[in-house]
Each structure stands twice: as C-alpha cells, then as structure tokens.
Structure 1
Amino acid sequence: MSLSVAACSAVSGGAAAAFLPRIAERLAVPRGTPPRSACAHCDTPFPDWVRAGAACPCTAAPLWTVLAGALASGILGATIGPSPLLLVLLPATVLGLLLAMIDLRCLRLPDPLVGALAAGTVLPLAAGALLAGEPGRLGRAVVAAVLAGTAYAILALLPGDGLGLGDVKLATVLGFVLGFAGWPAVAAGLAAPHLINGPVAVVLLVTRRAGRRTALPLGPALLAGAVLGLALTA
C-alpha cells in the first residue's frame, strides 16, 4: 500500500467533492424539469453552477460529502496504487458521488451524468486495453457489462421491485469497470449493493421512517459496492 498515493487521492477526492453540493442541488429535480435556479429552502437565486462549500448560505457545510469523497478516493488510492487505472477511477469517483447525491434527493440518476460516467471510464479503459495488447481484458469487461445490465433489467421488470432504468444503466457501466478489474471484482461489486441496502431498509422500517412500499435509492449502494469490489480484489 502506498500511503502517499492514498493521501493524495483522499485530498483530491475531498477537495473535488466540496464543489458538488450546488451542482447536486440544481440537478436534483424530477424528470423533465429544468435545473433548479434557486435554493429549494430559501429561494435565493443561484448565480452560477459551481461553488465551494454549501449549496447555499442557508444550508450546512458539506462535511459528509467531503468525507465521502476523501474516503472513496483514498480507499482506491491505497488499494490500487499508482497506475493508469487509478487515473481513470478518481474522476469517476467524484462523478459517482454527484450521482449518489442526486439519487438520494430525488430518486433519479440523470442520463447525461450516467453517460458522462460511461464516457470517462469505458472509453479510456477500452483504449488502454487495446494499446496494451489486452483484448481479453476488454472482452471480459464487455461481457461483465452485458451480464450486469441484463440482470438489473430483469430486476427492474419485476413488479414492485422499485428499480428504474437509471439503475440499470449505471449497473451496466459499473459492470464494465468491475469486469476490467476481474471476475472477483464483478462478484463482489454487484453483491455488495444488496448487502448495503438490505440493512438500511430494515433500519428504516424498524424506525418507521419508511414503509414496505417506500422506494429506496439504489444508486449510492451500486457506487459504494463498486468501490468496495475494486478495493477488495485489487
């Protein structure tokens, strides 16, 4: 484990995460609705998209957001180490955190952001595999993406499951990234989300903060599971 790489990754991830709250606040709107132009709490207009710190002066400092970005990035830096793969995963981690923040707010994973995550991971990883003469690695990633997308599409079609197409698309992208790392990463990364969301659902039911039909966001668990899958099998 490289402590210097882990520290640099954590610092960069936390610093980038500090700029996410306003973007998430503006994009956390129902499908078909334009981005929010003012604070949902105090109606203060947003003059721009990017602002370090809280989304609005009326909201709390994004401590947990910064910690999440630093933790996820630091874990990947510590386990993967200095490699081209890490250079792809660190920006993807920040974008994934933004997706998680939006999903937690409005149960939605915007297609443009999922598409940006795909472009920022699939394209460079595929190009890197071909340049390195590793077509088998690329093929494994494609197969993993197809399997993950198909499995989640079937789950989304089940009555009462609560999965959306955004979850299916995100699972497909993450399946490719995990497949690039190896089949153990695929198994761990796709199993972990359900091990994460299961206890969360039980706690919400016991505390009566949710009912049996309450929809829970799966995006954050999918993303956290991918980080754990990559870290545990690196």
Structure 2
Amino acid sequence: MSAAALVSIALLGTLVGVVVPRLARRFATPPPRRATLPPGRFAALPTQGLASTPRRLRRGAWLSPSVAAVVFVGLAAARGADPALPVFLAVAAVGLVLAGVDLACLRLPDPLVLGAGLLALGGLAAAALLSGTPGRLLGALAGATVAGAAHVLLALLPGSRLGFGDVKLAAVLGLPLGWLGRDALVAGVLLPHVLHGGLVLGLLAARRVHRNTLLPLGPALLAGAWLAVLLG
C-alpha cells in the first residue's frame, strides 16, 4: 500500500477516534442499583464508581484519535491487498467503541457486538463473492465457531470470570481471524489471554488491584485479534 493511501487511512482512523468516546458514553450507562443486580458479572461492582463513567471516558478522549489511527494504519499495512480490508476497518471501529465501554463499566453491549458481527459476516461474504474465493467465507465461519466454542468452555470452568459478552465478542472476532487462516485464528484466541494475564500480574505486583478485582477482557480480546492480524 502506498504512503498516500496509508496517510488517508490514518486520517480516517483519526476521525473515527474523535467520535469513539461520544459513542462509548452513549452505551456506557450504569447498570441497575446494586440491590437489583442479577448474579454474575456485576455482582461485585460498586455503583459509586460507575456513576463517574462518563467522566472517565471524557478524560481518555484525547488519546482515542491516536489509538484509532495506529489501529487503522496497522491493519492497512498488514492487509492492504486483502479484499476484506474495509471489513477489518469497520470491525475495528466498532471494537474501539466496545473497548471504551468495557474499560469504563465492564460491559460489552449486545447491540454493538451484534453490529460488529453483522458487519463482519456481511462484509466477508461480499469480499468472498467479489474475489471468487467462497472457501474463505467457510474459513471465517469455522473461525467464529472455534473461537466461540473455546470461550464457552472457558466461561463454564469453575471460578471463571469470563462473561458471555466476552464469549460473543470472541466469536465475532473469530470471523475475520478465520478468514485469514488457522495460524491467525490460533494466535487471535491465545494472545488476548497472554496479554490479559500479563496485565493482571503486573497490576497485582504493583498493588493496583486485588485478587477479587473484576477487570475487563474485551480490550484484550480486541488487542489480541489486532496483533494476530498484523502477524498473520
């Protein structure tokens, strides 16, 4: 891909990054009061911290354009000749919003995850037909199945803190990873947990969190998938 094209992609990513915090604030609404929380992911969440969610998102808004530009340029540099590049960029844009919401309030809203899934499935189907490679669509579907099943098993393990929002996001990310092939899929399934585990160990060593602290996995799933695409 030419330098001019990469600059255009960087500008597009920057523009996406400008609107990401605003969209994240729309979806990062606090859950019901603690007395009415269902068992599961929100059971140990303090509502006082969630009340400051919009403020936390505003504080990080200045970084979003730079992060989005890096994400977009990385994808373009790695997959410039791939007919599915627009799909990767669209999924990345939704993923940036999902990461912001999950970091702010430990939520992966179903409408966003479903939207990313529909973008990925529809876009990859069109790319497969236009490029005359229908087999790659089957690979994408297999990737979603494998990634989703692997995370269902992890979520069902005793003591697991994996939420089913994470499972659904993993299945969605399995679509573009499966499109790229087995190696990218394996890396995209394993890397998020390596990144998340390293982060947790670092935070524990620095005494920033406790063993019972709930931490979002969505950003690690997205970062791991992005790295797998770059390495694939």
Q: What TM-score, normalized by structure 2, do the two folds share?
A: 0.84
Q: Quick check: 2:28–2:101 contact (8 Å CA) kept in 1?
A: yes
| Equivalenced residues, count | 215
* 1:154 equivalent in structure 2: 153
Residue 108 of structure 1 deviates from its aligned partner by 1.0
Q: Do the aligned partners of 2:83 and 2:131 also contact (CA within 8 Å) in 1?
A: no
Q: Return closer, same or farther for 1:128/1:61 CA change in 2, 3 Å cut-off.
A: closer
| Aligned: 1:173 with 2:178 | no
Q: Who is 1:28 aligned against?
A: 28
Match of 1:214 in 2: 213
Q: Is the aligned partner of 1:9 residue 2:9?
A: yes
Relative to structure 1, the CA distance from residue 2 to residue 225 in structure 2 (aligned partners, 3 Å threshold; closer, same or farther) is: farther
State the distance in 2 between where 1:41 and 1:192 align.
31
Distance 2:58 2:131 in 1: 47
TM-score by length of 1: 0.84
Please state if 1:116 is matched with 2:109: no
Residues in 2 aligned to 1:201 and 1:130: alpha-carbon distance in whole angstroms: 42
> Could you tell me whether the CA contact under 8 Å between 1:144 and 1:178 is conserved in 2?
yes
The answer to whether the 8 A contact 1:2-1:78 is kept is no
Query: Which residue of the partner structure matches residue 194 of structure 1?
Result: 193
Separation in structure 1 between the aligned mates of residue 128 and residue 81 of structure 2, nearest angstrom: 17
Q: Distance in 2 between matches of 1:204 and 1:133?
A: 48
Contact 2:166 2:217 in 1 (8 A): yes
Find runs of 4+ consecutive structure 1 residues off by over 6 angstroms.
none
Change (3 A) 1:168 1:189: same
Q: Which runs of 5+ in 2 are unaligned?
A: 34-50
Match of 1:140 in 2: 139
Q: Percent identity?
A: 44
Letter aligned with residue 10 of structure 1: A
Task: State the alpha-carbon separation in 1 of the partners of residues 172 and 60 from structure 2.
Answer: 31
Q: Aligned-pair RMSD on alpha carbons?
A: 2.3
3-state SS of 1:200 partner? helix
Cα distance between partner residues in 1 of 2:82 and 2:32: 40
The match for 1:73 is 72
Indicate conservation of the 8 Å contact 1:122/1:176, yes or no: yes
Distance in 2 of aligned mates of 1:29 and 1:114: 16
Distance in 2 between residues matched to 1:145 and 1:14, nearest whole Å = 29
CA spacing shift, 1:121–1:17, aligned 2, 3 Å: same
Would the alpha carbon gap of residues 195 and 132 (structure 1) be closer, same or farther in structure 2, given more than 3 Å must change? Answer: same
Following the alignment from structure 2 to structure 1, what is the Cα–Cα distance between the partners of residues 25 and 145? 32
Q: Distance in 2 between matches of 1:41 and 1:143?
A: 40
Distance 2:11 2:122 in 1: 26
Give 3-state SS (helix, strand or coil) of 1:84's partner.
Answer: coil
Between Structure 1 and Structure 2, the one with more helix by share is: 2
The offset of 1:195, in angstroms, is: 1.8
Once structures 1 and 2 are overlaid, which stretch shifts more, 181-190 or 94-103? 181-190
SS at match of 1:192: helix
Q: Residue in 1 aligned with 2:223?
A: 224
What SS does the aligned partner of 1:18 have?
helix
